[in-house]
Structure 1
Amino acid sequence: MLRQENFTEIVLRHAAELPDKEAFVFLPDSTPGAVARQLTYAALDAEARRIASWLQRHSAAGERVLLLYPSGLEFVKAFVGCLYAGAVAVPAPLPGDQDNQSARLTGILRDAGVRAVLTDSAGEPAVSAWLRESGATGVRVLAVDDPAQGDAAAWTRPRLTADSLAFLQYTSGSTSEPKGVMVSHRNLIANEQAISRALGTHEGTRMGCWLPAYHDMGLIGHILNPLYVGGSAALMSPVSFLMRPARWLQMITDHRVTVSGSPNFGYDLCLRRVTDEQLATLDLSSWEHACNGAEPVRSETVRAFTERFAQAGFRPESFCPCYGMAETTLLVSGVPAGRAPVHRTVDAAALEQGRLDDAPPGDGTRTLVGSGEVAPDDFTVKIVDPDSRAERPEGHVGEIWAKGASVAAGYWNRPRTNAQVFDAGIVSPAGTDPGWLRTGDLGAMDAGQLYVTGRLKEMILINGRNIYPHDVEREVQGLHPAFRGGAGAAFSVDDGEEHLVLVQEFRRGAAQDPAALCAEVRDRVRREFQASCSVVLVRPATVRKTTSGKIRRTLMRQLLLEDRLAVVHQDLDRRVADLAAGPMATPVG
């Protein structure tokens, strides 16, 4: 265990002890002439000192510094430069990378009170133009790949404590507007220790990552953990992975990666698009921990991936479903090393009533994947009734509440929200136990396993039954080939009573009748969930997602009600049609 009080000292120690060791290698895409770029601990240290000196000279120590980069090593240098300067890094996507990204980025700029922006030479003109358009004044911009900027010899060691802020991690906003989680050095060290304990990471660990560097799973799990233990990481861009998923697995093969993770959709993408010819070239025997988190873990994905890639050396016990969030820095629970994931088949009707009951023979079941165990040295987790705030018994669903050194102090400049979210109290006959984080996630503890069942704000209540939106989405996506590979968003609209709606992407073929597809969906949902479902069919890439791939169901509801969806075909209940702002297709019922 490392005893340094702040993360900066840990990086400085490894730079001094492991100067010639490769810290990171960034792998290029298929661009002709592109080569892999390496960064040793000594080179990272030198660049971080140079960047930090510029930040210190411009009075950015202790201030928020926005990091806007494409995928690559420049982000890593800039982030560590902020640590060396005692500045508070604010990682974010480049403006224009995603729908509504510029507006979201402007919100982050203003919310954080950014003093400076770090980027690269290629991105500096666009970043400067965005700053002008946003009306920002007094914000300096530095292209850190210009070696003339800053002087490593002028750097001075920052005065930091465990409670100094290391960075602001802006949440992805899947159910609400993004908020900046205040991650202190104490929080960061505690969670890196938790990750190392769960995954057994050490100096010999080789990480592999395609996730965005501004995503908490990418940053904390794959970039900062190697720096914490003195390990190394191979990095590639998300675009490279999405264009050709086999590149991720080839990276694991070529660089003998031991730890690499992805949200569930990444494993699904490999199942759909990695060919048998590509599979024959892979060797995944080095892959000790295939972390699966950031969205619901699907049992069928875990089983199918394990079976398909076994011939490449992938082992069942390598799969590591895990649970975490920005508010806990990252990891809360994970499957212990050497154990295969736990699949629990439960009665669907009982689950809708908030219980994990063993499934009877026949239909009406749901299979959950355990998100592993909670290490008592790292966290205390309770399952709590969100209304009464009383603890729920084992095997019963409630809101997941957490305590531990990794839990952040709160959101930047949100004192009222922080009191509600980060200082909640569990009520019992003995009194109120304060200081709990309300995660907003629903789940249950059973036999030591944490099962995450959904998001509290996204739960759909129909006829007294709790319906999880991802269950509806998953059921429909397996219904017809036209839906496979397409995203869906299930949510409810309310006119005093909740009504279920599904917006589903589909690939239109000459022989497909959209009206018949809608009818098939409505029939399946009625049979499986005993609920009427309005169906909206849209083209691929219409369903909005966060930067980490989570479905933005709240936004999709808003787009439907404001008549801002490009609809191919829809089949709506009359009361749903009445709620929409614009003209709708002929309602039914």
Structure 2
Amino acid sequence: MAELLRGRADARPERTALSFWKDGGWATWTWAALRERAESVAAGLAAAGIRGGDNVLLVVPEVDLTVASLFGAWSLGAVPVPIGLPFRLTDERAFFKSLGVTAWRLDARALVTNRALAAFATKDEAITILDAEDLVAAIPQIAPPRSRSPSSPALIQLTSGSTGVPRGVVLAHDRLLEHMACMSAALPSHSESVAMSWLPLHHDMGLMGGLLFPLYNDFIGHMLSPADFRRRPMLWLELMSAQRATICAAPPSAYAVVLRMAQRAAEAGLRLDAWECAMVGAEPISADLLRRFAEAFAPAGFRAEAFFPVYGLAEATVAVTFPRLFERTRFDVIDRSRLERHGLAVACAAGPCALELVGVGSPIPGTEVQVIAEDGSLRRDRCVGEILVRAPTLMLGYFDDPAETNDAVRGGWLRTGDLGYLADGTLFITGRKIDHIIRAGHNLIPSVIEEVVSAVAGVRGGGVAAVGIRAAADETERCHVIAETKFPPEQYPELARDVRAALESQAIPIDALVFVRPGTLPKTSSGKIRRRALAEAYAKGRTLESSW
């Protein structure tokens, strides 16, 4: 990536590379400006004793400082490790102590953060703490480019941690660049392409899709922070309209948040007709959500065929499957009972006992996908199994964990831990293997239960978790649903009746329903609910709040 930056800065120094939303306006960086800031950071890191090959933690909330720190580390030949702030940061000192553990686990030599967070560090921190603002202000040193092997580590990407402790995914320079080429072949850009992203840069979709993809293809990327989106989601749509952005990625939950703002968008005269690729992924994708969003924003010019549902994971660098651009999203209506009992995706008519899934496309160039049964045999079309991925751009492995690496990658095939099926070349995802709830012979899918409960008035959207708790006496799992609500406790009985009625109308059995205050459910730094942590807490006898 450092060589890409140097080449672009030499060839077209005054061409705009990136634009950052700051203080109500755009701060534009040319390729020359990006190189200058990267070289300043590289000089500051070198002055602090960092050398090529050293791992450096990056915990920087400001997007522009994060970008400068990333490219500064690459310019020096160091290996950046982007880390996000906790979804709800309430104890900064405890957070810094946890960073010390992470630094020890990943053998990191330094932690780059901003001035505000650095103030919470104590003098006895076990890691060198560097101020990103000071690094960017350092005087660049004229030195020959640091040459490292193309196959050496470029990045350590932490997994989300939604199913356990985050692991360090090691990605190589050559594989990263090859992956960008494969993504670009599957999603071609053009002279009028304009990117917009507010996704966190510690997340693979935000880093690879939001930042590196437009940089690799040399079209402008407009960057705002996740905090900007959380403070005022409407800003996302306003900037998409004002900048005539053509490509932007977001999780389904973000589309759901702004869906209720469609009328305001129309009244404000926003235009979304330039939006060619509305990438959606990283979470279960609701077919109903895509239809409602397309219908609600049609007056603003949004086209249903702009939706671009994708599948990927950090261990595959990011992308596994893409649909074709401007191809209508493929929906599959299947018999939920046969899926839960027999693992078969049998097409059926829409109805209470049907399940509608969204196709996430076909493998990008250079990538292969298989679906296998528990015994390792290949599954036929429309038979659910674990998804395996093979590509020359897979991770080098998990950092300092050969056992986990060998377990995850066998014979060149990455075991994703995700369940799904293929139908006429299109991949459909049914959930995470570890999250499925096996109740009385049925494989209940948490995301299906959560979508039904989230639609009930009074339940906080995105604040529902369905988990399985082992009941040893019955030799099965019990299905617990935990839902966040702003309703006072005296309204819980009525809300419980509504939730259970919604579930019963879909023939979905549950064993326990718990209501909690908003913000109670544990989440990863990228906002994913930590179902496994919840299940373990309940298994140990801990509860959250009122059961109904």
Q: What TM bracket, shorter-length normalisation? A: over 0.9
With over 3 angstroms needed to count, the CA separation of the structure-2 counterparts of 1:407 and 1:486, relative to structure 1, is closer
Opposite residue 413 of structure 2, the aligned amino acid is W
Opposite residue 308 of structure 2, the aligned amino acid is C
Contact 1:71 1:213 in 2 (8 A): no
Q: Does residue 356 of the first structure (1) align with residue 334 of the second (2)?
A: no
**Where does residue 443 of structure 1 map in the other structure?**
420
Match of 1:70 among 45, 50, 61: 61
With over 3 angstroms needed to count, the CA separation of the structure-2 counterparts of 1:262 and 1:226, relative to structure 1, is same
**Where does residue 404 of structure 1 map in the other structure?**
391
**Where does residue 467 of structure 2 map in the other structure?**
491
Q: How does 1:229-244 map to 2 (within 5 A)?
A: 229-244=217-232
Q: How does 1:172-321 map to 2 (within 5 A)?
A: 172-201=160-189, 204-276=192-264, 280-321=268-309
With over 3 angstroms needed to count, the CA separation of the structure-2 counterparts of 1:331 and 1:409, relative to structure 1, is same
**Where does residue 465 of structure 1 map in the other structure?**
442
Contact 2:58 2:66 in 1 (8 A): yes
**Where does residue 545 of structure 1 map in the other structure?**
523
**Where does residue 354 of structure 2 map in the other structure?**
365
Q: Give, in whole Å, the separation in 2 of the partners of 1:460 and 1:146.
A: 50
Contact 2:41 2:136 in 1 (8 A): no
Q: SS of the residue aligned with 2:412? A: strand
Contact 1:49 1:155 in 2 (8 A): no
Q: SS of the residue aligned with 1:154? A: coil
- Aligned-pair CA distance for 1:204: 4.5
- Aligned-pair CA distance for 1:561: 4.2
Q: Give, in whole Å, the separation in 2 of the partners of 1:179 and 1:93.
A: 14
Q: Deviations over 1:245-278 (max 9, x none)?
A: 1110111111121110100000000112454356
With over 3 angstroms needed to count, the CA separation of the structure-2 counterparts of 1:384 and 1:231, relative to structure 1, is same
Contact 1:492 1:499 in 2 (8 A): yes
**Where does residue 82 of structure 1 map in the other structure?**
73
Match of 1:346 among 334, 340, 348: 334
Q: Give, in whole Å, the separation in 2 of the partners of 1:360 and 1:207.
A: 39
Q: Give, in whole Å, the separation in 1 of the partners of 2:348 and 2:267.
A: 36
Q: Does residue 506 of the first structure (1) align with residue 485 of the second (2)?
A: yes
Q: Deviations over 1:517-548 (max 9, x none)?
A: 32443454355345342111111111222222
- Aligned-pair CA distance for 1:563: 5.6
> How many positions carry a matched residue from both structures?
540
- Aligned-pair CA distance for 1:509: 5.5
Q: Percent of aligned positions with the same letter in both sequences?
A: 31
With over 3 angstroms needed to count, the CA separation of the structure-2 counterparts of 1:202 and 1:108, relative to structure 1, is farther
Q: Give, in whole Å, the separation in 2 of the partners of 1:103 and 1:529.
A: 47
- Aligned-pair CA distance for 1:114: 0.8
- Aligned-pair CA distance for 1:558: 3.0
**Where does residue 41 of structure 1 map in the other structure?**
31
Unaligned runs of 5+ in 1: 1-6, 424-433, 572-589
- Aligned-pair CA distance for 1:439: 0.5
Q: SS of the residue aligned with 1:118? A: strand
Q: Give, in whole Å, the separation in 1 of the partners of 2:519 and 2:376.
A: 39
Bigger shift: 102-111 or 539-548?
Answer: 102-111
Q: SS of the residue aligned with 1:105? A: helix
Bigger shift: 46-55 or 520-529?
Answer: 520-529
- Aligned-pair CA distance for 1:148: 8.4
With over 3 angstroms needed to count, the CA separation of the structure-2 counterparts of 1:362 and 1:235, relative to structure 1, is closer
Q: Give, in whole Å, the separation in 1 of the partners of 2:75 and 2:270.
A: 39
Q: SS of the residue aligned with 1:475? A: helix
Q: Give, in whole Å, the separation in 2 of the partners of 1:74 and 1:150.
A: 13
With over 3 angstroms needed to count, the CA separation of the structure-2 counterparts of 1:155 and 1:10, relative to structure 1, is same
Q: Does residue 17 of the first structure (1) align with residue 6 of the second (2)?
A: no
With over 3 angstroms needed to count, the CA separation of the structure-2 counterparts of 1:550 and 1:178, relative to structure 1, is same
Bigger shift: 185-194 or 388-397?
Answer: 185-194
With over 3 angstroms needed to count, the CA separation of the structure-2 counterparts of 1:52 and 1:171, relative to structure 1, is same
Contact 1:190 1:406 in 2 (8 A): yes
- Aligned-pair CA distance for 1:168: 0.3
